Amino acid sequence: MSKMFELAKEQYAGIGVDVEKAMELLANAPLSIHCWQGDDVLGFEGGETLTGGIQATGNYPGRARNIAELRSDMEKVLSYVPGAKKVNLHANYLDSSKPVARDELEPKHFETWVEWANALGIGLDFNTTFFSSPLSEKGSLTNPDEGLRAFWIRHAKCVRDIAEYFGRSTGKTCVTNHWIHDGEKEVPIDTVGPRMRLIDSLNQIFAEKKNLEYTRDALESKLFGIGSESYVPGSNEFYWAYVVQHPELLITMDAGHFHPTELISSKISTVLCFAEKMLLHVSRPVRWDSDHVVLLDDETRQIMREVVRADALERVYIALDYFDASINRVIAWTVGARNARKALLAALLEPVATLKKLEAEGDRSSRLALQQELLTMPMGAVWDEFCERQGVPVGTKWLEDAKKYEREVTIKR
Ligand code: RNT
Ligand code: ZN
């Protein structure tokens, strides 16, 4: 144990914070690390373009081109990020030598992922993949063509079966996120029709009840995308209403899916008043849903504070969602994941009971003063100790290793 940590621990104890307890909670709170930062969201169906209103910009060398490369890169990232982890897969990351239609996906196409996850002792999360397909150019679950809409309903059903298999065979609940890119560049005349079709699609997809121990389904809303600037049927109020009517489903809130001045941190407590659980996509929008690497910025910190202050660590699934192709992808991945963890640590190092007491007593001046003092408390020493105990590199050591991996592996691709 470092001297710095000992001193930090004492200083936190002085304001009523149990550092050991905070580190224990941090170690056990799973962080779902998305697979798609490693290959610019392309997946392994052989496609070379990303469509559906999202974009990975940049062409830094070293993109993972196959499953072996992606797993190798992810193993690096996992080794740099302390605490419990899950890996979040998309349905287009199947392992198959032959092409498989998205409505014909089966657990067997993801068997090697389960073996990989089990060898690492981590859980898997999952996602339907509606984007990057010629069959969803005019939409997926809202598609006016009944044949195509039925195709995408079948896709979602396949994904739910695979998710259940993930949960059963890893022993860890698989959280499955559903996001559709459907929407319009201009406001259509009929704004109700697509939404009614979406309701019908969801009703069909979720008609079969799954074992909630193995899998939970979540619906991700969005305000707009590239090419769907004016109208998105799967808006926040749409899914929120649907989820409230179907309490076994969860709402997903992505930090980049609202108006630029709207913050998901301010919405968490409302969701928690009405829903058992929820899913977060921790991301960073810069002027639009740009999916920049997560920083240790005010909003990321506020998101984690809201979760911790509401005592909701067990109720909020925390997943990452960003993709930057303009810098070293392993480093981008790691920076965002470590930042999400650091933000959670900062939240766990708050004297929440004291702050709530001050608030209840009406002492808003002390509440403000204490919060501001907290900002310069020695969290870094606790973070380093946490990394040390979790067996991941301390400080910038991981960066040296990541640069070495770049020189020896990714740059040669
Ligand atoms: C898109 C959504 C969605 C995707 C991933 C790849 O705006 O945020 O979560 O980023 O599914
Ligand atoms: Zn998202």
pLDDT in tens, 359-399: 999 999 999 999 999 999 999 999 999 999 999 999 999 99
CB 325 within 8 A of CB 56: yes
Residue among 35, 254, 322, 323 to mutate when testing ligand 1 (max atoms within 8 A of CB) = 254
In the chain, what is the greatest distance between 2 CA atoms, to the nearest angstrom? 67
Region of 121 (left: φ > 0; alpha: ψ -120 to 50; beta: rest) is left
Q: Calculate how far, in angstroms, residue 90's C-alpha sits from the geometric centre of ligand 1.
A: 10
Answer whether residue 1 shows pLDDT above 80.
no
Q: What is the pLDDT of residue 349?
A: 98
Environment class of residue 218 by beta-carbon count within 10 Å: exposed (0-12), middle (13-18) or buried (19+)? Answer: buried
Q: What's the pTM value of the predicted model, to 2 decimals?
A: 0.97
CA nearest neighbour of 233 among 273, 184, 267, 172 = 184
95: three-class secondary structure by DSSP: coil
Sign of CA dihedral 375, 83, 178, 132: positive
pLDDT in tens, 254-312: 999 999 999 999 999 999 999 999 999 999 999 999 999 999 999 999 999 999 999 99
Question: What are the pocket residues of ligand 1 if the criterion is a CB atom closer than 6 Å to any ligand atom?
Answer: 36, 41, 54, 127, 179, 220, 222, 254, 281, 289, 321
Q: What is the pLDDT of residue 181?
A: 98
CA nearest neighbour of 34 among 201, 325, 282 = 282
* 343 sits in which H/E element: helix 329-348
Answer whether residue 245 shows pLDDT above 90.
yes
The residues, any chain, with a CB within 8 Å of residue 200's CB and separated by 6 or more, are none
| Euclidean distance between CA atoms 52 and 139, whole angstroms | 9
Percent of the chain residues past pLDDT 90, beyond the cut: 99
| Euclidean distance between CA atoms 146 and 158, whole angstroms | 18
Q: CA triplet 325, 331, 334: central angle to 5 degrees?
A: 115
| Euclidean distance between CA atoms 321 and 283, whole angstroms | 5
| Euclidean distance between CA atoms 152 and 260, whole angstroms | 30
The residues, any chain, with a CB within 8 Å of residue 375's CB and separated by 6 or more, are none
Whose alpha carbon is nearest atom 5 of ligand 1?
321
The residues, any chain, with a CB within 8 Å of residue 96's CB and separated by 6 or more, are 44, 109
Residue among 159, 281, 289 to mutate when testing ligand 1 (max atoms within 8 A of CB) = 281
Any catalytic annotation for residue 18? no
Confidence of residue 76 (pLDDT cuts 50, 70, 90): very high
Q: Calculate how far, in angstroms, residue 282's C-alpha sits from the geometric centre of ligand 2.
A: 8
Answer whether residue 168 shows pLDDT above 80.
yes
CA nearest neighbour of 24 among 382, 332, 269, 282 = 382
Answer whether residue 343 shows pLDDT above 80.
yes
Whose alpha carbon is nearest atom 7 of ligand 1?
54
Q: Which listed ligand is nearest to 40 at the C-alpha?
A: 1
Q: What is the mean pLDDT of residues 137-150?
A: 98
Answer whether residue 99 shows pLDDT above 90.
yes
Ligand 1 atom closest to the CA of 41, numbered from 1: 6
The residues, any chain, with a CB within 8 Å of residue 321's CB and separated by 6 or more, are 34, 254, 256, 281, 282, 283, 291
Whose alpha carbon is nearest atom 2 of ligand 1?
179
Q: Tokens at residue 187, please?
A: 């406001």
Any catalytic annotation for residue 257? yes
Whose alpha carbon is nearest atom 6 of ligand 1?
41
Answer whether residue 93 shows pLDDT above 90.
yes
CA nearest neighbour of 336 among 350, 348, 319 = 319
* 123 sits in which H/E element: strand 123-127
